[in-house]
Structure 1
Amino acid sequence: MKKNPLRKFVDSIAGHPDWLRRMYLTRMFRMKVKFAGTAGLDILDTDGQSVTFAITNRRKVQNHIGGVHAAAMSLLAESATGFIVGINLPGDKLPLMKRMNINYVKRAEGDLTAKAWLTDEQVQQMENQDKGEITVAVTVTDEAGNQPVECEMLWAWIPKKK
């Protein structure tokens, strides 16, 4: 398996203090995904097979009733799933969002977090197949512990063009 630069970076900072690792991961991700920087997404933690992202309910990302905007919620879930797919794909493969289904089921209260994860089988599938697709599990919760959205993220991958 050809490790990708993103995974090498994640692995290289694994031993750093939590606050420094979070800062490095967040800055790196915001540099790669400009919209994540605009929205102020933060990476709180990753163990290489799961990741937790957060968004603060601040004016820049609010809807007309003072909650996190629906588009910002979907960005949060898409970013978390994309990150975990991105660090687990070999470097010669390109991740692509194929489909996302988001059901808004409850009004969100305050800041939001999204936790996305892969199974061992999904990681093996990405390592061993040139092309494929997987549904990445993600849970979005608000400050009250509620799940305001139900998300299904389908990611695909193809070989990178040489």
Structure 2
Amino acid sequence: MSFSNNISRAIKPFEKLPDSLRIRAVSLIFGNVVPFVGTSGLRYEELTHNRVVVSVRNRRKVQNHIKSVHAAAIALLAETASGFVVGMNLPDDRIPLIKTLHVDYTRRSSGDLRAVATLTDADIARIRSEPKGEVLVPVTLTDATGQEPVQCQMIWAWTSKKK
């Protein structure tokens, strides 16, 4: 069964573009919708109903005092990936809300960062069918060395939009 909502309809026209153009176009669109995401230069590399991949380049505007990606930018990266995988599955009459943002910084990151947020088929079925609920969204965050400098979990809730 096919599922469509505002997010999936917004990205559909860009699906057939080459990766570099698609990533840039989708990132610009969502960067305008969520200004802080646009300011940080997050890049939406993959958007599916089961998996969302978002990255950030280690550039001056997101760096800390030791020239690695700032802790707040890392949290934003994980929150964005997890929020979009939930958002890809929410009917248009519901709104996602971050409930818990748990981020453990285990070592200094190196270079660019990439967050991968995933949902199981059972999670997706609940998000689409329950008018109100919450889901734990695991996020794997890796740096340029392929290691995980951060361990994170996000709990997202959803509820009906106010009329």
Which TM bucket (shorter chain)?
A: over 0.9
Pairing 1:9–2:13 present: no
Q: What corresponds to 2:90 in structure 1?
A: 89
Q: What corresponds to 2:34 in structure 1?
A: 33
Q: What corresponds to 1:154 in structure 2?
A: 155
Q: What corresponds to 1:131 in structure 2?
A: 132
Q: What corresponds to 1:106 in structure 2?
A: 107
The answer to whether the Cα contact below 8 Å between 1:2 and 1:91 also exists between their aligned partners in 2 is: no
Code of the aligned partner of 1:31? N
Secondary structure of 2:27's match?
helix
Code of the aligned partner of 1:137? P
Q: CA deviation at 1:25?
A: 1.4
User: How far apart, in 2, do the equivalents of 1:90 and 1:12 lie?
Assistant: 20
Code of the aligned partner of 1:82? G
User: How far apart, in 1, do the equivalents of 2:125 and 2:16 lie?
Assistant: 25
User: How far apart, in 2, do the equivalents of 1:60 and 1:21 lie?
Assistant: 23
| Residues 2, 93 of structure 1: alpha-carbon distance in 2 compared, 3 angstrom cutoff | farther
Which TM-score applies when normalising by structure 1? 0.94
User: How far apart, in 2, do the equivalents of 1:155 and 1:11 lie?
Assistant: 24
| Residues 7, 64 of structure 1: alpha-carbon distance in 2 compared, 3 angstrom cutoff | same
Q: CA deviation at 1:12?
A: 3.5
RMSD: 1.5
User: How far apart, in 1, do the equivalents of 2:49 and 2:119 lie?
Assistant: 9
Deviates more, 1:6-15 or 1:90-99: 6-15
Deviates more, 1:47-56 or 1:15-24: 15-24
Deviates more, 1:15-24 or 1:53-62: 15-24
Deviates more, 1:9-18 or 1:64-73: 9-18
Q: Which runs of 4+ in 1 moved over 3 A?
A: none
- Residue ranges of structure 2 left out of the alignment (5+ in a row): none
Deviation by residue 1:11-49 (Cα, 9 ceiling, x = unmatched): 343223222221221011101110011111111122332
Which TM-score applies when normalising by structure 2? 0.94
Secondary structure of 2:99's match?
strand
Code of the aligned partner of 2:38? G
Q: CA deviation at 1:2?
A: 7.9
Q: CA deviation at 1:64?
A: 1.1
- Residue ranges of structure 1 left out of the alignment (5+ in a row): none
The answer to whether the Cα contact below 8 Å between 2:94 and 2:158 also exists between their aligned partners in 1 is: yes
The answer to whether the Cα contact below 8 Å between 1:4 and 1:92 also exists between their aligned partners in 2 is: no
Q: What corresponds to 1:23 in structure 2?
A: 24
